[in-house]
Amino acid sequence: MQRHCIIIPSYNSGLLLKETVHSVITLGFPVIVVIDGSNDGSEIPVLQMSEGKPDLHVQLNTVNSGKGGAFLSGLEFASARGFSHAVAFDSDGQHDAADIPLFIAASSKFPDAMILGVPVFGHEAPAARVNGRRVGNWWTNLETLWGGVNDSLFGFRVYPIEPAIKIMKSIQGGRRFDFDTQLAVRLYWKEIPPLNIPSKVHYPDRNAGGVTHFHYIRDNLLLIWVHTHLTLNAIFMLPRLFRLRKRKPITYP
């Protein structure tokens, strides 16, 4: 039986966390907010919002474990409560909550697939982000032999929970900004097919509360190391990758 929930990992997301949670909880799906060691007080209005709302759970992690680490703790919480699939949704106001029902509907039709959001950028998108993404996507395509993972970094996705937990626990990395890339590639290697759905992405400016914890030097070095490691691993599974390339891609609707 399929049961979907929405997991929102958050670290010092400021005012946008409350706005994001409000836009998501109104859709009527269970929501798990993972406060990952925040110290900016952004969790306070969300805790107040959760009072009397059994479908809104706020998980407080005292130590920051990174985006991937926070999402893993949310996955484990969801699994223990019988959920089968989790929507990953960032807390920084970049994603369009109106697309969540579409993603869940696609996941319900193809429960064995991972639903991957593909960003549709607006004019305000930073050029460094857009161009850097192209590089990362090229490496991800190489690691999957162009098997259909159209975007390696977009944080709006639907994962089957049990395979995702198993993979996350089997690797040492995937706990920070390498999380989205690592999980998508490794799920593909485990024969979880991708289904790509375009979704608009917004970049709120600082005056509107926009924040980012991405450090260009540190996190790009991390992604370079990850892609190097994944590419070397892909060499040893070329027969499997050639077989996976023969699968008929799935589309929705």
Give pLDDT tens digits for 17-65. Answer: 999 999 999 999 999 999 999 999 999 999 999 999 999 999 999 999 9
What is the pLDDT at residue 222?
84
Global pTM value: 0.93
What pLDDT score does 214 carry? 63
In degrees and rounded to multiples of 5, residue 140 shows phi and psi of: -65, -40
- What are 82's two structure tokens? 């019988």
Domains observed in the chain: 4-245 (3.90.550.10)
Task: Report the pLDDT value the prediction gives residue 34, as an integer from 0 to 100.
Answer: 97
Return the SS3 of 7: strand
* Backbone angles phi and psi of 158, in degrees to 5: -125, 125
Polymer length in residues for the chain = 253
Beta-carbon count within 10 A of 209 CB: 17
- Distance, in Å, from the CA atom of 230 to the CA atom of 125, rounded to the nearest integer, reads 28
Is residue 252 pLDDT above 80, yes or no? Answer: yes
pLDDT at residue number 215: 66
